[in-house]
Structure 1
Amino acid sequence: MPATTPRTAIRSTAAVGVALAVALSGCTSSDGSAARSSSPTSSSPAPKASSSSPAKPHPRVSVAGVPTALAKTVRQLYAGKPVPAPAPLRRVLAQRATSHGRVKAHGNVASWKSSKIAVVTARHDVTLAVQGKHGWHVVGGWWPSMKVRRPQLGGTRHVLLMGSDARVSHGQEVARSRADSLHVIGLDGRGGAGVLGIPRDSWVSLATGGPGKINSAMAYGGPTAELKTVRHVTGLPIEGYLLTGFVGFRHAIDAFGGLPFDAPKAVIDPTHHNSGADVKKGKQHLNGDEALAYARERKSLPDGDFGRSRNQGWLLLAGAALVRGGGPEKLPRYLHELSPYVTTDLSAQQVLTLAAHVFTLNPHRVRNEVATGGFGVRGGGQSVVLLGSGARHLFHDLRDGTLSGGG
């Protein structure tokens, strides 16, 4: 087994795009067309109109499909008035150009956990909003019509995706079993992203104390302990986690109507009794059981668990491409469908803005990698993975939110 695996570029997983996204070098419209980046508008105040100069008309804004309070916020946004928003976003919006003429917007509202979320589109503009205690807040989006120069989704981001090996039918808890699937997702906020798999048998220092396999941290201390362990091992500023189990993964795929998938290689369980995987190379449509079998198969792969982690990354990218194909207006519904099957410490604002990245990424700057290492024996005869310099290079590489593909 080589200590490192070759780097591979993202493949298209559907006609609409690839990966954790597809889009443009900075901003993509809801109809898939690229919005040209614009220079920031000047922060100096506009001169007052003289008494002989006619006042510029306010935009005529119509907003359909959303509650009255949210429609009011959207009209204020296009009129150049202050809107409820996080401080960094308020500073960006303070420099926006005021729209003139007619704006026709339409929104979709759904729930993520106990929070209401919404996406409002107006031609190439996309506004992301979350309902809080004091009404609706604009939490992100992109507004080429108002010369906001790039998508506003929180800058560089890192999040941990975990898959539990819990057998719920045997009474095992998803959040107190082993985290057999571990992927750190990085987003650089400028069109780049990386999916980095971490082998479940990596021998590391656990947040719960002592050394152990990295996947055991959740069994000992829950998802928070697993998150702390991965933060320590990678050195990455991971903001939170999303966790699902076998049942949740399968049901989530079926809730989306299955998963269009372009398999880089065939993955077939020769015994038909282990994972049951039977996925041919090329384009196909997987249901929940088929996707889960593909994600679990490792014994037939030449690089074993490393290959399985890489294949799980391809599934994540295919799921992102599915969301991308539906357009921003369907994002609230997709998140609502996913919500029952996911446990997370992220807020609705964090989840909505993270998910919205699928519409803003450059396919040539999205990569799927696995942190590999050598093999050893530790802890009373356990076969483990010893992460080496290749893994440390990938951890460092992902710090800016993307994987460069070098080294």
Structure 2
Amino acid sequence: MQAKLLLEDGTLFTGVGFGADGESVGEVVFNTGITGYQEVLSDPSYCGQIVTMTYPLIGNYGIARDDFESIRPYVNGFVVRRHEPVPSNWRAEYNVDRLLKEYGIVGISGIDTRMLTRKIRHFGTMKGILTTGSKSVEELQEMLGIHEMVRDQVARTSTKQRYTSPGAGERIVLVDFGAKSGILRELTDRGCDVVVVPHDTTAEEIRRLHPDGIQLSNGPGDPKDVPQAVEMIQQLLGEVPIFGICLGHQLFALACGADTGKLKFGHRGGNHPVKELATNRCYITSQNHGYTVIDESVIGTDLEVTHINNNDKTIEGLKHKSYPAFSVQYHPEAAPGPHDSGYLFDQFIDMIRNHKRNHPKAPRQAELVAQLKGVL
């Protein structure tokens, strides 16, 4: 089955189709990970994008449901150099081809992914159309020209209703902007009582949950497309400790008066070096974002830069100078990727406990009822 990938600059790639038949339009990006393709496919932050894997062999260890980072894949298309239809892995339940067919995702293999990656690095990310149909190049160009990029990715990927992962420790409200399962896993592994809420949950609704801390998740798209989240963070800043990851980091920055902008081709992969300024230590991190906090915009705010990217010197971490709140641009839950930065979740828990010692709250309603029953 022949497949084509046409970029908006007119570049045409012709290869072999796998996965679903059809057509798909999206922003063409690349990921530099050597492993972890199924975590990439199931990462909600890729919603609306056609993902190119720079590693040349994809599919060799198949698909295992336990490794998913969300309930389903959200990518608009998948581009690889070589697709391996017969996996060799005792955990594999089926192959990548079946996964893409199941969710209607078009894939293309047998193209020069190195050339495609170099083009994106030179000219920046761009729209593309991926098809297994017989339309002419002219027809595909016309479709690209009239197609508008999606702007509601967060609403598409966020949970629609609140749910709880019970624990005996601190109560964490995880605001789901397209959260990866790894974040929830890291919090529950530390015994936290986690309440996951939709992206448009208000500050007052979060207050009613009596959180000890608020986790702002990763997610897809432009942070400025989620203005209600910025307002929510502004209202809660200083009341409850806050930890932001990826999109949550950008929203935290906007809430504190900084600005964000689009990167030329983004950071996507599990091998990005980040320097922690306080210790001068370098961490290898997992990343997936197309936007960044603009350096100059932090000047004059109550934010302090804590981490920078060693490749391009963009901001990778922030903390508030007065309130218990911090954020990182990368993924400390690292799925896939190195586990260098898992300590950040421990720092978050320590911050919560310090805040509770210094700012004791009135007993939660349930605890107060229990106390009253004991008195009566």
Question: TM-score under structure 2 normalisation?
Answer: 0.22
Question: TM-score under structure 1 normalisation?
Answer: 0.21
Larger radius of gyration: 1
